[in-house]
Amino acid sequence: MSAPVVVSGARAVVRIANKPIGIFSSFSYGLTYDVQSVFILGRYSAAELGYTAMEPVRCTASGWRVVGNGPHKAASVPNLANLMDSEYIQIDVLDRQSGQVIAIIRDVRPETYSTTIAVKSLTEVTHTFVGLIVDDESTRNAEGRNHTDLPPQI
C-alpha cells in the first residue's frame, strides 16, 4: 500500500522568513480574482466574464501565545519604529512527509495580530498577513510579459 497523499495538519509545516513556526495550530490563505460581468443591450444575461485584477493574498494564522516568543519575534511583525524600513517576508507551507512545497506566499506584510486571554483556557494569538502573490506545487504565479512595474529604488 502506498503512503497517504492527502495533507493533514500533522504533515503541514509553516515557515515565516525561513523559520518553522511551531506555535501555529491553524493556517489559512486564499487567492481571489476580480471578475466583472459584461452586459450588453439586447440581452438579459452576461455576454462574457472578464478578469480585471487579482487581489492581494490574505492569510490567517492562529496559535498559542508563548512567553518570550511574541508576535514581533514569532511572526516577523515589525515594530512601529521600523515600519519605514521593514522588508517583505515570505511564508512557505510545506508537506513534511514528502518535503514538497504546498504554497509560497511572496512579498508578505504582517497586517494584524490579536491575543485572547480567558479563564480556564490557554492563551491564543491570531495573525493576519497580506501577500502579493501565491504559488503552489502546480504553478508559479507571475505577471505576463510586458507588464509595468514601479520604478527601481535609488
pLDDT at residue 23 in the model:
87
pLDDT at residue 62 in the model:
94
Strand order in the sheet with 24-30: 19-20, 12-16, 89-95, 101-116, 124-136, 57-64, 24-30
- Selection from 98, 102, 88, 67 nearest residue 132 by Cα: 88
Rounded to whole angstroms, the maximal C-alpha distance in the chain is 65
Mean pLDDT score, 121-126: 93
- Selection from 40, 34, 39 nearest residue 52 by Cα: 34
pLDDT at residue 145 in the model:
83
pLDDT at 111 over 90: yes
Rounded Cα gap, residues 86 and 73, in angstroms: 14
The percent of residues in the chain predicted with pLDDT above 90, rounded, is 66
pLDDT at residue 30 in the model:
95
Backbone dihedral angles phi then psi of residue 74, each to the nearest 5 degrees: -70, -40
* pTM score of the predicted model: 0.88
pLDDT at residue 117 in the model:
92
pLDDT at 1 over 80: no
**pLDDT per position as a tens digit, 21-78:** 888 999 999 999 999 999 999 999 999 999 999 999 999 999 998 888 888 888 899 9
pLDDT at residue 59 in the model:
97
pLDDT at 138 over 80: yes
How confident is residue 149, by pLDDT bands cut at 50, 70 and 90? confident
Would you call 30 helix, strand, or coil by DSSP?
strand
Mean pLDDT score, 121-137: 94
